[in-house]
Amino acid sequence: MSILNSIKWPSLIGTIALYFWASLLPAHAGNDVPNSSLLGTLPLSKIHGAADGVMLCEEAISFAEQSMGIPRKLLHAIALGESGRGLPQNISQSEQSLEGMTLWPWTVMAEGKGRYLNSKFEALKEVKKLRHKGVSNIDVGCMQVNLYYHGEAFKNIEEAFNPIHNVAYAATFLTNLRYRHGSWTKAVKYYHSGNASKHNPYAKKIISLWQKLQRETSPNRTKIPQTASTN
């Protein structure tokens, strides 16, 4: 799982972009999820269970890929590499994911151990317990954003778990890395770590997941663009 520990929040422009596109997300179907145009103060207090969180993570990921020029399914592959798990019996198989797998919005990684909690409340409780023990290097959410290095991007822990905010931050961070390092492959590497011994195996895993997603969810496979374009 990623610790996203090599770069702080990239720029004011990135911050503006994050909230701009996040505010454009269409309202979630049903009455249990508040309209995403209220992101400024939105606690997503009614999104408790995993099913709601998984759906919102996937919607946010698809929107980010389309609106920010991220190769189709690449951000989803990162999410599966970060918070992916076997499909629980109470969660329906998503057409967006690999068979038998799902990303998990209430994932907490700390002390070298991944924790797949059943709800937002349990995840928040786990983070508070870890912090009480003095643990600060903690990854959270479907994109596993690190609270020690990137916690300042969120108002509080609950917002960091908010699927829209979690994905929005990760997508903007990845896009900034792509323009900084010149390719999506390098962006994937540095999303995880600045250490080559860590990020090279990580990139191989993510690209493998990305290729599987391409095969299972699209009849046409594409290559990850290697050179950043300003067009």
Give pLDDT tens digits for 159-174: 899 888 899 899 989 9
Residue 82 has pLDDT above 70, yes or no: yes
Predicted confidence at residue 102, as pLDDT, reads 85
Q: What is the mean pLDDT of residues 81-109?
A: 77
Predicted confidence at residue 53, as pLDDT, reads 77
Report which residue type is found at 102: T
Give bridge partners of residue 109 from the DSSP assignment: 114, 139
In three-state form (DSSP H/G/I as H, E/B as E, the rest C), the secondary structure along 143-198 is CCEEHHHHHHHCCCHHHHHCHHHHHHHHHHHHHHHHHHHCCHHHHHHHHHCCCHHH
Q: What is the mean pLDDT of residues 28-55?
A: 44
Give pLDDT tens digits for 50-69: 667 788 888 889 888 988 89
Closest CA to 95 of 208, 224, 218: 218
Predicted confidence at residue 45, as pLDDT, reads 41
Residue 46 has pLDDT above 60, yes or no: no
Go through 90-113 and write b for each residue having 16 or more CB atoms within 10 A of its CB, e for each that does not.
Answer: eeeebebbbeebbbbbbbbbbeee
Residue 158 has pLDDT above 50, yes or no: yes
Which position has the higher pLDDT, 4 or 42?
4
Q: Are 177 and 187 in contact, with CB atoms under 8 Å apart?
A: yes
* Count of other CB atoms within 10 angstroms of residue 197: 7
Q: What is the mean pLDDT of residues 124-145?
A: 96
CA distance 147 to 151: 4
CA distance 174 to 25: 19
Q: What is the mean pLDDT of residues 1-25?
A: 44
Mean pLDDT (the chain) is 76
Residue 7 has pLDDT above 60, yes or no: no
Give the pLDDT band (50/70/90) at residue 32.
very low
Helices (H) and strands (E) in the chain, counts: 9, 6
Which position has the higher pLDDT, 155 or 227?
155
Which position has the higher pLDDT, 30 or 98?
98
Please measure the distance between the N-terminal and C-terminal CA atoms of the chain and give it in whole angstroms.
Answer: 32
Give the pLDDT band (50/70/90) at residue 231.
very low
The pTM for the full model equals 0.76
Residue 214 is encoded by which pair of tokens?
Answer: 């391409």
